[in-house]
Structure 1
């Protein structure tokens, strides 16, 4: 490989001007609509999902169709732009179905978009007026996919199923589309109250078959791979918020007439966390860029990002709670929302251990 070819193949980890503008717009909207008191109040309520916020993001800002080509009514953007949106959603722990509907479900359908009924559904999702959920446990990753034999039984821990209009159900027979009102959807009580989970019972439901077994399996893996890769950007957003808030608090909080952030032990902890967040940003951006360019190394980039970013988000949230002292342990401070989002995301779309095992297989690193 020549030096010029190697340069052309290198991933672009920097943010473009358009991506920075998108970030500013999304952050501004979320800052207006998800202040701390409302976020805490919604987390305590029985309905944490915010339909008005999703209408503003999905339809108003047209973010629901970011990954959808223009010919299908979308924005024709890439996973890089979607990653920027998810960073901001992570920073605000916003209760919206962007990851589940605009990324996972949409990517799954785009693999089958040459079919008229699928194209019609993609257009509806891109408009932001309808949402879809892939009916698999939220812990399911792209590397260890197990599907039920038929359209029957109950699937537990399905993210955003209780608020979805359409359910996409993969089985050994193929991928089915069903109206959410036809299934029995029972909300569960998750650790992360900002991302609702539900149990979906499919007994007696007659769905529309969208694809056969092989095409369905490939489509679902594509959706889960994109979801896992971009979840790393959401985890990055969580970690960045935690670091920023912790630095600000330790600068203002005084003990022995000195800011506690000036104590060497705390300086070292925050410096270490900063290094981890910078590395997480590189891993998340690499995964988003690999997905955006349809790189053959996308599975490798996603595995690296998930294996690393999940741990960083949890560590950042734990440090945020601890270094805030007594106030960090209270329900009135939002730190617990970030810790719960980080902990739940740690096992979402494949655990770090699953992604490390996939990484070892991808690079042919055999276990001892």
Structure 2
């Protein structure tokens, strides 16, 4: 018998949020993130080490008997909210969630699961970031025991130590990053770079059937992406309200103008709704209750709210918001890139229609 999900944050989740936010405040300032995007190494290795070695966050989804923290998707969602608020350039979603979920589908992937749970190893599922749960994905060719082919749009491949590569024999293979060629692709979101992965006779270890593992991983990625989008939207709303309280025109705060109050009130309402949808998706992933429907609902709604929040922030910051030095452009790019990650809102609405048997005539 199903029970109503508890969407409120527990004391433990709030304590986790406070700890992650404190760490990000100290180690992930906006100026540093912007400066890093202008280099060839956008990923922040020292921040990743602090999150994983220092706090053990890479292993939240891994059961204790498999070397992890034995937490749930609810705790991982809180972490992703905070990482979204800071547009932190770390491969948490791609490694600690998506790649880890794929590995957890296999009983004999213990060594790799342990490595990812510790954060010592960064993993990446070699499936295009745009791929929705249940959608077809590109495979490489298995020939004489080696892998050949090219995969594009792989998020955080440049930071990965091991790639989980689907092949045309239906298997998912663990491939060391040193055995492939990773070429950066132009990416709108400079804090989550994409890459082309070329395999030319690369050796790989077959883990098991790719289909169920990839679907599981992409579903978790889509569901928890909503929490990252919530973090982005919440930062945009909070930062804009703060700016409009401080900014003055005609000797009065700009935030006092009624037209702007209405825009902010509408945005606040949408962010509240997004929080409910994101929390529901995290809870559904944690409990296994109505997971497909709840995740799909969250992703059908999240993208538009995050993008609108970032667009409003950009506009309402005025000329300041148009500068490279102000971080709002990072949030707009992350929101736009997230809007097509793990399936577009339109793809999720179509999937939802099939799930609840309400297809268009």
With the shorter chain as reference, the TM-score category is over 0.9
CA drift of 1:55 comes to: 0.5
CA distance in 1: counterparts of 2:217 and 2:53, whole angstroms: 21
CA drift of 1:148 comes to: 2.0
SS of 1:49 mapped into structure 2: coil
Counterpart of 1:290 in structure 2 is: 284
CA drift of 1:261 comes to: 0.5
Map of 1:1-368 to 2, 5 A cutoff? 9-112=3-106, 114-115=107-108, 118-148=109-139, 150=141, 151-173=147-169, 174-211=171-208, 215-295=209-289, 297-368=290-361
CA distance in 2: counterparts of 1:160 and 1:110, whole angstroms: 20
- Tell me the alpha carbon deviations over residues 88-139 of structure 1, each in whole angstroms, 9 at most, x when there is no partner: 0000000001100000000011011x21xx1111011111111100001110
Instruction: Tell me if structure 2 keeps the 8 A contact 1:143–1:354.
Output: no
CA distance in 1: counterparts of 2:13 and 2:166, whole angstroms: 34
Structure 1 gap ranges (5+)? none
CA distance in 1: counterparts of 2:334 and 2:102, whole angstroms: 24
Instruction: Tell me if structure 1 keeps the 8 A contact 2:350–2:359.
Output: no
Instruction: Tell me if structure 1 keeps the 8 A contact 2:229–2:303.
Output: yes
CA distance in 2: counterparts of 1:237 and 1:341, whole angstroms: 11
- Tell me the alpha carbon deviations over residues 271-312 of structure 1, each in whole angstroms, 9 at most, x when there is no partner: 0000000000000000000000012x1011111101101110
CA distance in 1: counterparts of 2:4 and 2:260, whole angstroms: 37
Instruction: Tell me if structure 1 keeps the 8 A contact 2:149–2:198.
Output: yes
Paired residues, what number? 355
CA drift of 1:143 comes to: 2.6
SS of 1:156 mapped into structure 2: strand
Instruction: Tell me if structure 2 keeps the 8 A contact 1:143–1:358.
Output: no
Q: Which stretch of the first structure deviates more once superposed, 222-231 or 148-157? A: 148-157
CA-based RMSD of the aligned residues comes to: 1.0
Q: Which runs of 4+ in 1 moved over 4 A?
A: none
SS of 1:152 mapped into structure 2: strand
SS of 1:209 mapped into structure 2: strand
CA drift of 1:147 comes to: 3.4
SS of 1:167 mapped into structure 2: strand
Counterpart of 2:144 in structure 1 is: none
Structure 2 gap ranges (5+)? 142-146
CA drift of 1:46 comes to: 2.0
SS of 2:41 mapped into structure 1: coil
Report the TM-score, using the length of structure 1 for normalisation: 0.95
SS of 1:130 mapped into structure 2: coil
CA distance in 2: counterparts of 1:299 and 1:166, whole angstroms: 28
Instruction: Tell me if structure 1 keeps the 8 A contact 2:304–2:339.
Output: yes
